[in-house]
Amino acid sequence: MIRHPPLPRMLVACLAAAAFTVQAQQLPDPDAVSLERLGLMQGFPPPPDKVVSDANRGRYPQMRWALQHTRELVPTRNVRRGGGAVSALPAAPLPLERLSFVDDKGRTLTVDDWLRETYTDAVVVLHKGRVVFERYMNGMQPETPHLLFSITKSFTGLLAAQLVQEGRLDPDALVTRYVPELEGSAWGDMKLRQVLDMTGTVRFREVYTDPTTEIFPYLYASGLLPAPASYSGPSDIYAFLRTLKKGDGEHGDGFVYRTVHSEVLGWIVSRVTGRHFADLLSERIWTQLGMEEDANVMVDRVGTPLQGAGLSASARDLARFGEMLRRGGEFNGQRVLSAAAVADMTRGGDREKFKASGMSFRPGYSYRNQWWALNNADGAYEASGVNGQMLHVNPAAELVVVKLSSHPVAGAAFTHPLTLRAWDALARAVRGDTKP
């Protein structure tokens, strides 16, 4: 019998989008767990009780430091910005910190209240490409790379959508056309479109209290969790994927959020392009947008990128990426992605199939190409990751919002109803409907 060690909370967060049933009064005071107050990793060497290591990086509040220092704790591969000039982000400040709105519980909050209550590390708000609001907290700086968790999926999905437009991927083709190694697995009779939209059925349970579920060998294979001595399963991500079998029902029946689909999609993209995810991001995104900072992506023991949750980037660079999408794939007069690829991603997926997810905290949403579509009047869409990572784009309001956080609760359901109210308030403010 394999004995499984306790699963650190941050490692769970890498993969899970399920809500935790934590009451507000159980949460630590945000000021009490700020890095400024805690003094983690200060001094050379830091005192033993202030050290953040691989052993405790998943615990809270050590996780707050770890999300900003991933490359110091686990293997990563660099995403180069190149040697080109940094693209400007002109400023046109608005006093949005004083903007008030009614939250999902009927309370009147300011933007400052919202940021504090949701353990925000950084926020950047663009309107028409200009920075109207920017704030850094919890020791974060403009140059700091922050772990984006499942926002990584959306980068993978957009690259795949671009390859579809280039004719290098066929969404109606079987996965095995591109990765024959997956013959006999859950993806053996699955179409690429069903991977892109997470409607393929896979026997993969993400139940972190049950050591018999498939999440544990995934964590061991990816290196996200040290494997016990008795573990003899796959030792890398791709080997693990080949072991997964088809689940109940038929492919295409409904949307079920599964991180392993993103890993398969990343395998397909790398196979077709012949490029590592980090290099592809550098060539197609980072060097093209004039990013300020390099990014990095976590890798497993053999260097395979974690394309479901492993990317770290600065808030300002993520804002540049969002602004390029808002402009339909163009940035600074240069075409970065095809307008058709962006349009295909932003139009959303099947809303009826989305209902199978049980994500009632995302009313009206759908999912396509690893992106969330709000399906509202403004045509808004977003990428999100657990513990409060958000990239929100509202084309009608000409608004881009980046919010990076280190919330103690991984599940999006805990804060998403509040965040929806904040999105609406920010959109009204930049339109001039509400005075900040």
Catalytic positions, written as ranges: 150
Amino acid code (one letter) for 53: S
> Counting Cβ atoms within 10 Å, is residue 165 exposed (0-12), middle (13-18) or buried (19+)?
middle
Q: What are phi and psi of 383, to 5 degrees?
A: -115, 145
Q: 233 in helix, strand or coil?
A: coil
CA distances from 361 to 72, 99, 385 (A): 35, 24, 15
**How many other CB atoms sit within 10 Å of the CB of residue 273?**
17
| Alpha helix ranges (H) inside 166-209 | 192-196
CA of residue 168 relative to chain centroid, distance: 25
Pick the closest to residue 129 from 158, 87, 170, 186 (CA basis).
Answer: 87
C-alpha distance from residue 81 to each of 27, 156, 277 (Å): 38, 18, 14
**β-strands 108-110, 295-298 pairing:** unpaired
Measured in Å, how far apart are the chain's first and last C-alpha atoms?
Answer: 60
- Residue 299 is given by DSSP the state B
Q: Order of strands, edge to edge, in the sheet holding 389-394?
A: 130-136, 120-127, 399-405, 389-394, 381-385, 371-373, 366-368
DSSP reduced 3-state for 85: coil
